[in-house]
A and B are shown apart, each in its own frame.
Chain A
Amino acid sequence: MWALVKHFRTMLKLSVRILLIFILGLAVSFEVKASKENEPLHSDSLIKEEFNTGRFIIEHVMDSYDWHVVSLGTTHISIPLPIILYSKNPDLHGGKNFHVFMSNKFNHAHNDYRGFRISHSHENDGKIVELDQHGNEIGKPLDFSITKVVAGIFFSALLLVVMLTHVVRKLNKNKGKAPKGIQNLLEPVVLFIRDQIAKPAIGEKKYEKFMPFLLTMFFFILINNLMGLIPFPPFGANVTGNIAVTMVLALFTFFVTSINGNKHYWKEIYNPDVPWWLKFPVPLMPIVEFSGVITKPFVLMVRLFANMLAGHMIVTVFISLIFIFASLYGPLAGLAVSPVSILFSVFILLLDVLVSLIQSYVFTLLSAIYFGMATAEHH
């Protein structure tokens, strides 16, 4: 019953997402039409950077090498971030393998530096590539740069650790007394995860072992989700809407599940209780079961990624509506549309706050359920 409701909810959410992506597509096509119609006017009178909705949105949700703050006309103000590269061809980069420098050396992807370039090619757009002596792109170096997303993770991880250790310090000081302050905010959530997620999913006996992992997972996802909604540095990096991040989170869950899987769990995968002909010449059921093992973390990864990415995209779409209307019917139309579009953006942002909570809850709950399945006793 519960699963059914959840499925229905997911379907509903999916359909809303599809609708909004459709709107996005519409907006892009509007933009294209607008630029075509206004071309004769624009080409010789007003020379501006053409407003490209698709690029605008993608740039907002994508990772980047510097942290964009604001653009005033054509001047972009951004925080430079460290670039860390390892190249197998030291002779192309001044004889060194390791390269550490700040991203402002690239001057917003306009300059090359030490034989590296932020590519504009179709294949490696936005990535750092190596150049040979003639300035041809020859491939990508190993890239350990502190990008916007990595910096965002660093910041929120630091915030999380500082906040929680602060709570612990208060806890020790407040021993035996009623909780107060931030402790009151945290404790119900911890209790919720313990009593509503871990205990029912894993069971009274074994849940304690997984509590630190589940709590870390929940708060890490939650803080990054919420940080992503605040639209200025050091917040606003689309951390949980980055597939690498959600992949790592899902893999952590996968590994913890696999490490803690008992004999019964593995037997059900490699030698399930089914008629022998489903296992023997062709190991049909083991394949199905094993694909289930792979699917679980994959679904975790995609769900969080898609939800957060879509949330960010929709907000950006509503904001870009202002510019679309402005470029279609002039600045006044843009001004007229802005209240509506801001209203919608605020609405979606508030919705995203809810989605942030729900997604961190769902991720934690599913992790707990997987742990519960891996440690369940055979009966």
Chain B
Amino acid sequence: MGLVTPNPGTIFWMVIIFGIVLFILRKFAWKPILNALKDREESIASALNLAEEAKKEVAGLKAENEKVMADARREKEIILKEARKIKDKIIAEAKQKANLETQKAIESARVQIQNEKTSAVNDIKKQVAELSLLIAEKVVKKELSSKSEQEKLVDGLIDDIKLN
């Protein structure tokens, strides 16, 4: 039964060869190969992670951009509103000022007119007085040219006094 009885010589050589092959391959083949495979797997995994992170970052940036845009829009709105308010205020103020100014002008005009009027009236009064005096002078001159008239006047004056 040579087929099923192990031959000692073959066992001897097989142990030696397999042992050596195991040693050599372990050191020079499997360790580098397994390490290389592991390294590659790790690098692929990290690359995928990086891509994922980059994707997330891009999404974040986009959101941020949108936020910034929205902010800007809101700010614009606010600024516009404020500007409108200011404009309105300025206009209102201007109107008020103008009104005031007009009022003042009218008032001063009125005062001036009043003054003018007063002075004019005074003037007229003065002139009237002067004129009256002139007339009175002329009348008196004319009236008191006769004696009778002078007596009449004195009588009249005395009457008046009497009345008092």
Identify the A interface with B (CB < 8 A).
58, 61-63, 84, 125-127, 142-147, 149-150, 153-154, 157, 160-161, 164-165, 167-168, 171-172, 175-176, 186-187, 190-191, 194, 208, 211-213, 215-216, 219-220, 242-245, 247-249, 252, 309
Contacts and interface: CB of A to CB of B under 8 A. Distances in A.
Nearest to B7: A244
10 contacts: A150-B13, A150-B14, A154-B13, A165-B29, A171-B36, A187-B37, A215-B30, A219-B25, A247-B11, A248-B15
B33 A186 contact: yes
Nearest to B28: A165
A64 to B, nearest CB: 10
B25 A248 contact: no
A144 B26 contact: no
Nearest to B34: A211
B22 interface: yes
- Most chain B beta carbons < 10 A, residue from A61, A175, A190, A216: A216
A243 B4 contact: yes
B31 to A, nearest CB: 7
Given A143-B9, A168-B33, A171-B33, A243 B3 contact: yes
Contacts of B29: 161, 164-165, 167-168
Given A127-B2, A216-B22, A249-B18, A244 B32 contact: no
B26 A212 contact: yes
A84 B15 CA distance: 17
Contact of A244 (B11, B25, B30, B43): B11
B9 to A, nearest CB: 4
Nearest to B35: A171
Interface residues of B, number: 32
Contacts of B24: 161
B68 interface: no
B73 to A, nearest CB: 48
A142 B14 contact: no
Contacts of B43: 176
Given A153-B13, A244-B6, A216 B28 contact: no
Nearest to B21: A157
B17 A157 contact: yes
Contacts of A243: 3-6
Top-3 shortest CB links A-B: A244-B10, A244-B6, A212-B26
A147 B37 contact: no
Contacts of B3: 58, 61-62, 243, 309
- Most chain A beta carbons < 10 A, residue from B5, B7, B15, B29: B29
B63 interface: no
Contacts of A144: 9, 12-13
